[in-house]
Chain A
Protein backbone atom coordinates (compact mmCIF):
# COMPACT_ATOMS: atom_id res chain seq x y z
CA UNK A 1 0.00 0.00 0.00
CA UNK A 2 1.36 3.45 -0.96
CA UNK A 3 2.23 5.99 1.67
CA UNK A 4 -0.62 8.50 1.01
CA UNK A 5 -3.15 5.68 0.91
CA UNK A 6 -1.78 4.43 4.20
CA UNK A 7 -2.13 7.89 5.73
CA UNK A 8 -5.69 8.18 4.45
CA UNK A 9 -6.49 4.86 5.97
CA UNK A 10 -5.02 5.84 9.31
CA UNK A 11 -7.04 9.03 9.30
CA UNK A 12 -10.37 7.31 8.61
CA UNK A 13 -9.70 4.69 11.28
CA UNK A 14 -8.95 7.52 13.67
CA UNK A 15 -12.24 9.21 12.90
CA UNK A 16 -14.00 5.87 13.10
CA UNK A 17 -12.57 5.25 16.57
CA UNK A 18 -12.67 8.72 18.12
CA UNK A 19 -16.19 9.61 17.03
CA UNK A 20 -17.67 6.32 18.22
CA UNK A 21 -20.69 7.64 20.12
CA UNK A 22 -22.03 10.17 17.56
CA UNK A 23 -21.29 7.71 14.80
CA UNK A 24 -23.26 4.92 16.51
CA UNK A 25 -26.18 7.22 17.31
CA UNK A 26 -26.40 8.45 13.73
CA UNK A 27 -26.00 4.93 12.35
CA UNK A 28 -28.78 3.63 14.56
CA UNK A 29 -30.93 6.59 13.58
CA UNK A 30 -30.49 5.97 9.84
CA UNK A 31 -30.75 2.20 9.87
CA UNK A 32 -33.41 1.87 12.57
CA UNK A 33 -31.47 -0.99 14.18
CA UNK A 34 -30.97 -1.12 17.98
CA UNK A 35 -27.77 0.64 19.08
CA UNK A 36 -26.44 -2.37 21.07
CA UNK A 37 -26.50 -4.56 17.99
CA UNK A 38 -24.53 -1.91 16.09
CA UNK A 39 -22.06 -1.41 18.94
CA UNK A 40 -20.90 -5.01 18.66
CA UNK A 41 -20.47 -4.60 14.92
CA UNK A 42 -18.62 -1.33 15.39
CA UNK A 43 -16.26 -2.87 17.92
CA UNK A 44 -15.49 -5.85 15.70
CA UNK A 45 -14.95 -3.60 12.72
CA UNK A 46 -12.65 -1.27 14.69
CA UNK A 47 -10.55 -4.17 15.91
CA UNK A 48 -10.27 -5.38 12.35
CA UNK A 49 -9.33 -1.92 11.02
CA UNK A 50 -6.72 -1.18 13.67
CA UNK A 51 -5.23 -4.64 13.43
CA UNK A 52 -4.43 -6.57 10.31
CA UNK A 53 -7.79 -5.92 8.59
CA UNK A 54 -8.91 -9.48 9.26
CA UNK A 55 -12.67 -9.34 8.87
CA UNK A 56 -13.47 -12.82 10.18
CA UNK A 57 -15.07 -11.52 13.38
CA UNK A 58 -17.09 -8.90 11.54
CA UNK A 59 -18.29 -11.48 9.06
CA UNK A 60 -19.22 -13.81 11.90
CA UNK A 61 -21.31 -11.11 13.56
CA UNK A 62 -22.92 -10.05 10.30
CA UNK A 63 -23.67 -13.67 9.47
CA UNK A 64 -25.45 -14.07 12.82
CA UNK A 65 -27.35 -10.83 12.22
CA UNK A 66 -28.58 -11.71 8.75
CA UNK A 67 -29.52 -15.26 9.74
CA UNK A 68 -31.62 -14.09 12.64
CA UNK A 69 -33.19 -11.42 10.46
CA UNK A 70 -33.93 -13.94 7.71
CA UNK A 71 -35.81 -16.05 10.26
CA UNK A 72 -37.73 -13.02 11.47
CA UNK A 73 -38.85 -12.37 7.91
CA UNK A 74 -36.79 -9.28 7.09
CA UNK A 75 -35.97 -8.77 3.42
CA UNK A 76 -32.29 -9.01 2.42
CA UNK A 77 -32.45 -5.32 1.44
CA UNK A 78 -33.38 -4.41 5.00
CA UNK A 79 -30.36 -6.25 6.35
CA UNK A 80 -27.98 -4.85 3.75
CA UNK A 81 -29.33 -1.36 4.35
CA UNK A 82 -28.24 -1.59 7.99
CA UNK A 83 -24.67 -2.14 6.82
CA UNK A 84 -24.77 0.41 4.02
CA UNK A 85 -26.18 3.12 6.28
CA UNK A 86 -22.85 3.05 8.13
CA UNK A 87 -21.39 4.80 5.09
CA UNK A 88 -23.71 7.72 5.47
CA UNK A 89 -22.97 7.98 9.18
CA UNK A 90 -19.21 7.87 8.60
CA UNK A 91 -19.43 10.35 5.73
CA UNK A 92 -21.01 12.95 8.01
CA UNK A 93 -18.04 12.62 10.37
CA UNK A 94 -15.61 12.82 7.46
CA UNK A 95 -17.30 15.97 6.20
CA UNK A 96 -17.06 17.51 9.67
CA UNK A 97 -13.37 16.63 9.66
CA UNK A 98 -12.97 18.27 6.25
CA UNK A 99 -9.52 16.86 5.33
CA UNK A 100 -8.64 15.39 1.92
CA UNK A 101 -6.92 12.45 3.63
CA UNK A 102 -10.14 11.61 5.40
CA UNK A 103 -12.12 11.73 2.14
CA UNK A 104 -9.63 9.44 0.45
CA UNK A 105 -9.83 7.10 3.40
CA UNK A 106 -13.60 7.18 3.19
CA UNK A 107 -13.45 5.86 -0.38
CA UNK A 108 -11.42 2.91 0.89
CA UNK A 109 -13.75 2.25 3.83
CA UNK A 110 -16.73 2.55 1.53
CA UNK A 111 -15.48 -0.33 -0.61
CA UNK A 112 -14.99 -2.40 2.51
CA UNK A 113 -18.53 -1.71 3.68
CA UNK A 114 -19.88 -2.60 0.25
CA UNK A 115 -18.22 -6.00 0.53
CA UNK A 116 -19.71 -6.50 3.98
CA UNK A 117 -23.16 -5.52 2.70
CA UNK A 118 -22.93 -8.07 -0.07
CA UNK A 119 -21.79 -10.63 2.48
CA UNK A 120 -24.99 -10.14 4.48
CA UNK A 121 -26.93 -10.77 1.30
CA UNK A 122 -25.10 -14.02 0.71
CA UNK A 123 -25.66 -15.18 4.28
CA UNK A 124 -29.29 -14.25 3.98
CA UNK A 125 -29.83 -16.40 0.91
CA UNK A 126 -27.90 -19.28 2.50
CA UNK A 127 -30.16 -19.06 5.56
CA UNK A 128 -33.26 -18.99 3.37
CA UNK A 129 -31.96 -21.94 1.40
CA UNK A 130 -31.68 -23.89 4.63
CA UNK A 131 -35.23 -23.00 5.64
CA UNK A 132 -36.50 -24.21 2.26
CA UNK A 133 -34.59 -27.49 2.54
CA UNK A 134 -36.00 -28.05 6.05
CA UNK A 135 -39.51 -27.41 4.83
CA UNK A 136 -39.06 -29.76 1.89
CA UNK A 137 -38.07 -32.46 4.37
CA UNK A 138 -41.15 -31.78 6.45
CA UNK A 139 -43.29 -32.02 3.33
CA UNK A 140 -41.74 -35.36 2.53
CA UNK A 141 -42.92 -36.60 5.92
CA UNK A 142 -46.42 -35.72 4.86
CA UNK A 143 -46.54 -38.30 2.12
CA UNK A 144 -48.40 -41.19 3.67
CA UNK A 145 -49.11 -44.21 1.52
CA UNK A 146 -52.36 -46.10 1.66
CA UNK A 147 -51.53 -49.77 1.19
CA UNK A 148 -53.80 -52.62 0.22
CA UNK A 149 -53.55 -55.53 2.66
CA UNK A 150 -56.21 -57.78 1.21
CA UNK A 151 -59.06 -57.59 -1.21
CA UNK A 152 -61.32 -55.02 0.43
CA UNK A 153 -58.90 -54.14 3.22
CA UNK A 154 -56.59 -51.12 3.11
CA UNK A 155 -54.17 -49.81 5.72
CA UNK A 156 -52.59 -46.43 6.48
CA UNK A 157 -49.37 -46.71 8.45
CA UNK A 158 -49.02 -43.31 10.10
CA UNK A 159 -45.47 -42.27 10.91
CA UNK A 160 -44.49 -39.02 12.56
CA UNK A 161 -46.35 -36.29 14.33
CA UNK A 162 -49.96 -35.73 13.36
CA UNK A 163 -51.31 -32.21 12.99
CA UNK A 164 -54.51 -30.92 11.45
CA UNK A 165 -53.01 -30.25 8.02
CA UNK A 166 -51.44 -33.67 7.81
CA UNK A 167 -54.50 -35.48 9.11
CA UNK A 168 -56.55 -33.71 6.47
CA UNK A 169 -54.26 -35.07 3.74
CA UNK A 170 -54.32 -38.56 5.24
CA UNK A 171 -58.08 -38.49 5.65
CA UNK A 172 -58.74 -37.39 2.06
CA UNK A 173 -56.29 -39.93 0.68
CA UNK A 174 -57.75 -42.78 2.71
CA UNK A 175 -61.36 -41.94 1.82
CA UNK A 176 -60.48 -41.59 -1.87
CA UNK A 177 -58.76 -44.98 -1.79
CA UNK A 178 -61.84 -46.52 -0.18
CA UNK A 179 -63.92 -45.26 -3.10
CA UNK A 180 -61.37 -46.22 -5.76
CA UNK A 181 -60.79 -49.75 -4.51
CA UNK A 182 -64.25 -50.37 -3.12
CA UNK A 183 -62.73 -51.45 0.19
CA UNK A 184 -65.06 -51.82 3.15
CA UNK A 185 -62.37 -52.12 5.80
CA UNK A 186 -59.60 -49.72 6.67
CA UNK A 187 -56.87 -50.09 9.28
CA UNK A 188 -55.24 -46.96 10.66
CA UNK A 189 -51.95 -48.00 12.21
CA UNK A 190 -50.50 -45.45 14.63
CA UNK A 191 -47.42 -47.41 15.69
CA UNK A 192 -45.23 -44.63 14.29
CA UNK A 193 -47.06 -41.79 15.97
CA UNK A 194 -44.91 -40.62 18.89
CA UNK A 195 -47.67 -39.06 20.95
CA UNK A 196 -51.44 -38.83 20.98
CA UNK A 197 -53.10 -35.81 22.52
CA UNK A 198 -56.73 -34.72 22.46
CA UNK A 199 -56.23 -33.00 19.09
CA UNK A 200 -54.71 -36.04 17.39
CA UNK A 201 -57.39 -38.27 18.88
CA UNK A 202 -60.05 -35.88 17.60
CA UNK A 203 -58.56 -36.11 14.10
CA UNK A 204 -58.51 -39.91 14.25
CA UNK A 205 -62.12 -40.02 15.38
CA UNK A 206 -63.15 -37.69 12.57
CA UNK A 207 -61.46 -39.92 10.01
CA UNK A 208 -63.23 -42.99 11.38
CA UNK A 209 -66.62 -41.26 11.37
CA UNK A 210 -66.08 -39.98 7.80
CA UNK A 211 -65.18 -43.49 6.63
CA UNK A 212 -68.27 -44.81 8.36
CA UNK A 213 -70.42 -42.25 6.58
CA UNK A 214 -69.13 -43.60 3.31
CA UNK A 215 -69.95 -47.16 4.31
CA UNK A 216 -66.56 -48.45 5.42
CA UNK A 217 -65.39 -49.68 8.81
CA UNK A 218 -62.18 -48.39 10.39
CA UNK A 219 -59.98 -50.19 12.88
CA UNK A 220 -57.28 -48.31 14.77
CA UNK A 221 -54.22 -50.41 15.52
CA UNK A 222 -50.73 -50.05 16.93
CA UNK A 223 -51.71 -48.32 20.15
CA UNK A 224 -48.71 -48.60 22.43
CA UNK A 225 -49.19 -49.06 26.19
CA UNK A 226 -48.06 -45.51 26.98
CA UNK A 227 -50.45 -44.09 24.41
CA UNK A 228 -53.34 -46.18 25.75
CA UNK A 229 -52.49 -44.81 29.18
CA UNK A 230 -52.42 -41.23 27.88
CA UNK A 231 -55.73 -41.63 26.07
CA UNK A 232 -57.46 -42.99 29.15
CA UNK A 233 -55.88 -40.35 31.41
CA UNK A 234 -57.01 -37.58 29.05
CA UNK A 235 -60.51 -39.01 29.19
CA UNK A 236 -60.83 -39.44 25.43
CA UNK A 237 -63.77 -41.62 24.47
CA UNK A 238 -63.21 -43.86 21.49
CA UNK A 239 -66.80 -45.00 21.73
CA UNK A 240 -67.64 -48.02 19.62
CA UNK A 241 -64.55 -47.67 17.45
CA UNK A 242 -62.62 -50.92 17.25
CA UNK A 243 -59.03 -50.68 18.47
CA UNK A 244 -56.39 -53.39 18.27
CA UNK A 245 -52.92 -53.64 19.76
CA UNK A 246 -51.11 -54.65 16.59
CA UNK A 247 -51.58 -54.43 12.85
CA UNK A 248 -51.73 -58.24 12.76
CA UNK A 249 -54.70 -58.30 15.16
CA UNK A 250 -56.42 -55.59 13.13
CA UNK A 251 -55.89 -57.52 9.88
CA UNK A 252 -57.24 -60.71 11.47
CA UNK A 253 -60.28 -58.80 12.68
CA UNK A 254 -60.91 -57.19 9.29
CA UNK A 255 -60.51 -60.53 7.53
CA UNK A 256 -63.00 -62.17 9.85
CA UNK A 257 -65.43 -59.33 9.34
CA UNK A 258 -65.18 -59.61 5.57
CA UNK A 259 -65.88 -63.33 5.76
CA UNK A 260 -62.40 -64.79 5.41
CA UNK A 261 -61.59 -67.57 7.84
CA UNK A 262 -58.35 -67.02 9.72
CA UNK A 263 -56.74 -70.05 11.30
CA UNK A 264 -54.37 -69.76 14.24
CA UNK A 265 -54.78 -66.04 14.70
CA UNK A 266 -56.41 -66.46 18.09
CA UNK A 267 -53.64 -68.67 19.53
CA UNK A 268 -51.56 -65.63 20.48
CA UNK A 269 -54.27 -64.66 22.93
CA UNK A 270 -54.40 -67.99 24.75
CA UNK A 271 -51.09 -67.39 26.52
CA UNK A 272 -52.45 -64.20 28.03
CA UNK A 273 -55.34 -65.86 29.81
CA UNK A 274 -54.51 -67.32 33.20
CA UNK A 275 -55.46 -70.92 33.59
CA UNK A 276 -57.82 -71.84 36.33
CA UNK A 277 -57.90 -75.19 37.99
Chain B
Protein backbone atom coordinates (compact mmCIF):
# COMPACT_ATOMS: atom_id res chain seq x y z
CA UNK B 1 0.00 0.00 0.00
CA UNK B 2 1.21 3.49 -0.88
CA UNK B 3 1.72 5.95 1.95
CA UNK B 4 1.29 9.68 1.61
CA UNK B 5 4.46 11.41 2.90
CA UNK B 6 4.11 14.13 5.53
CA UNK B 7 6.73 16.89 5.26
CA UNK B 8 7.66 19.31 8.01
CA UNK B 9 8.39 22.98 7.32
CA UNK B 10 8.96 24.96 10.49
CA UNK B 11 5.88 24.27 12.57
CA UNK B 12 3.76 23.51 9.51
CA UNK B 13 3.13 20.03 8.16
CA UNK B 14 2.74 19.70 4.39
CA UNK B 15 0.86 16.78 2.90
CA UNK B 16 1.00 16.61 -0.88
CA UNK B 17 -1.36 14.02 -2.28
CA UNK B 18 0.15 12.61 -5.47
CA UNK B 19 -1.47 9.19 -5.58
CA UNK B 20 -4.93 7.82 -6.17
CA UNK B 21 -6.38 7.58 -2.71
CA UNK B 22 -8.18 4.45 -1.67
CA UNK B 23 -10.03 3.95 1.59
CA UNK B 24 -7.12 2.30 3.37
CA UNK B 25 -4.52 4.93 2.45
CA UNK B 26 -6.92 7.67 3.56
CA UNK B 27 -7.35 6.05 6.98
CA UNK B 28 -3.58 5.57 7.29
CA UNK B 29 -3.00 9.21 6.34
CA UNK B 30 -5.44 10.40 9.01
CA UNK B 31 -3.70 8.31 11.68
CA UNK B 32 -0.19 9.32 10.57
CA UNK B 33 -1.17 12.96 10.46
CA UNK B 34 -2.74 13.01 13.92
CA UNK B 35 0.33 11.31 15.32
CA UNK B 36 2.77 13.68 13.57
CA UNK B 37 0.86 16.81 14.65
CA UNK B 38 1.24 15.74 18.26
CA UNK B 39 4.82 14.45 18.06
CA UNK B 40 6.15 17.50 16.18
CA UNK B 41 3.97 20.06 17.90
CA UNK B 42 2.75 21.41 14.56
CA UNK B 43 0.55 24.52 14.52
CA UNK B 44 -0.66 24.21 10.94
CA UNK B 45 -1.34 21.55 8.30
CA UNK B 46 -1.41 22.19 4.57
CA UNK B 47 -2.99 19.58 2.33
CA UNK B 48 -1.95 20.10 -1.27
CA UNK B 49 -4.39 18.54 -3.73
CA UNK B 50 -2.98 20.08 -6.90
CA UNK B 51 -2.42 16.63 -8.36
CA UNK B 52 -5.87 15.32 -7.46
CA UNK B 53 -8.03 15.20 -10.55
CA UNK B 54 -10.95 13.12 -9.38
CA UNK B 55 -12.82 13.55 -6.11
CA UNK B 56 -15.82 11.86 -4.62
CA UNK B 57 -17.82 12.40 -1.48
CA UNK B 58 -15.39 10.13 0.41
CA UNK B 59 -12.40 12.37 -0.26
CA UNK B 60 -14.53 15.42 0.48
CA UNK B 61 -15.38 13.96 3.85
CA UNK B 62 -11.75 13.02 4.45
CA UNK B 63 -10.74 16.69 4.12
CA UNK B 64 -13.43 17.76 6.58
CA UNK B 65 -12.44 15.01 9.02
CA UNK B 66 -8.74 15.93 8.91
CA UNK B 67 -9.60 19.61 9.46
CA UNK B 68 -11.79 18.81 12.46
CA UNK B 69 -9.20 16.40 13.85
CA UNK B 70 -6.25 18.79 13.61
CA UNK B 71 -8.30 21.61 15.08
CA UNK B 72 -8.80 19.49 18.18
CA UNK B 73 -5.01 19.16 18.32
CA UNK B 74 -4.68 22.96 18.04
CA UNK B 75 -3.47 23.02 14.45
CA UNK B 76 -5.22 24.82 11.59
CA UNK B 77 -5.75 22.95 8.28
CA UNK B 78 -5.63 24.66 4.90
CA UNK B 79 -6.49 22.82 1.69
CA UNK B 80 -4.57 24.28 -1.24
CA UNK B 81 -4.39 23.88 -5.01
CA UNK B 82 -7.89 22.64 -5.71
CA UNK B 83 -8.51 22.39 -9.44
CA UNK B 84 -11.56 24.14 -10.94
CA UNK B 85 -13.01 20.82 -12.10
CA UNK B 86 -12.65 19.40 -8.61
CA UNK B 87 -14.30 22.45 -7.05
CA UNK B 88 -17.22 22.20 -9.47
CA UNK B 89 -17.61 18.49 -8.74
CA UNK B 90 -17.67 19.10 -4.99
CA UNK B 91 -20.29 21.84 -5.40
CA UNK B 92 -22.40 19.56 -7.59
CA UNK B 93 -22.09 16.87 -4.92
CA UNK B 94 -23.38 19.42 -2.43
CA UNK B 95 -20.18 19.43 -0.35
CA UNK B 96 -19.03 22.86 0.74
CA UNK B 97 -16.27 21.59 3.08
CA UNK B 98 -17.55 23.59 6.02
CA UNK B 99 -14.83 24.49 8.49
CA UNK B 100 -12.04 23.82 6.03
CA UNK B 101 -9.91 26.79 5.01
CA UNK B 102 -8.78 26.92 1.42
CA UNK B 103 -6.10 28.77 -0.52
CA UNK B 104 -5.24 28.93 -4.19
CA UNK B 105 -1.72 27.54 -3.89
CA UNK B 106 0.86 26.37 -1.39
CA UNK B 107 2.45 29.81 -1.08
CA UNK B 108 -0.85 31.50 -0.21
CA UNK B 109 -1.63 28.65 2.16
CA UNK B 110 1.57 29.28 4.12
CA UNK B 111 0.81 33.02 4.25
CA UNK B 112 -2.72 32.27 5.45
CA UNK B 113 -1.44 30.12 8.32
CA UNK B 114 1.07 32.78 9.36
CA UNK B 115 -1.69 35.42 9.35
CA UNK B 116 -3.96 33.19 11.40
CA UNK B 117 -1.20 32.68 13.96
CA UNK B 118 -0.28 36.35 14.22
CA UNK B 119 -3.99 37.16 14.70
CA UNK B 120 -4.09 34.73 17.60
CA UNK B 121 -1.06 36.50 19.02
A residues engaging B (CB < 8 A)? 168, 171-172, 175-176, 178-179, 182-184, 206, 209-216
Contacts and interface: CB of A to CB of B under 8 A. Distances in A.
B84 interface: yes
Interface in B61-119: 78-80, 82-88, 90-92, 96-97, 101-105, 108-109
9 contacts: A168-B88, A172-B88, A210-B87, A210-B88, A212-B102, A213-B96, A213-B97, A214-B104, A215-B108
A-side interface mostly: helix
User: Lowest 6 A-B CB distances belong to which pairs?
Assistant: A175-B84, A215-B102, A215-B103, A210-B87, A213-B87, A215-B104
Contacts of A216: 104
Contact of B82 (A176, A206, A215): A215
B-side interface mostly: mixed
Nearest to A177: B84
Given A179-B84, A214-B102, 11 more contacts: A168-B88, A175-B87, A178-B84, A206-B92, A213-B96, A214-B82, A214-B87, A214-B104, A215-B80, A215-B101, A215-B102
Nearest to A172: B84
B116 to A, nearest CB: 13
Interface in B9-68: none
Contacts, number: 58
Interface of B: 78-80, 82-88, 90-92, 96-97, 101-105, 108-109
A277 B92 CA distance: 53
A172 B89 CA distance: 11
A214 B96 contact: no
A171 B83 CA distance: 12
A65 B84 CA distance: 48
Contact of B88 (A175, A179, A184): A175
B118 to A, nearest CB: 14
Contact of A213 (B82, B105, B108, B109): B82
A111 B21 CA distance: 73
A65 B71 CA distance: 71
A168 B85 CA distance: 11
Contacts of B105: 182
Contacts of A176: 84
Contacts of A212: 96, 102
Contact of B84 (A182, A206, A209, A210): A210
Contacts of A215: 78-80, 82, 101-104, 108-109
B104 A179 contact: yes
B41 to A, nearest CB: 26
B120 to A, nearest CB: 19
B113 to A, nearest CB: 12
A168 B82 CA distance: 17
Nearest to B97: A213
Contacts of B82: 213-215
Contact of A182 (B85, B86, B104): B104
B91 A209 contact: yes
Contacts of A210: 84, 87-88, 90-91
Nearest to A183: B104
Nearest to B104: A215
Contacts of B108: 182, 184, 215
Nearest to A174: B84
A213 B90 contact: yes
Contact of B87 (A168, A182, A183, A211): A211
Given A215-B102, A216-B104, A179 B83 contact: yes
A209 B94 CA distance: 10
B63 to A, nearest CB: 10
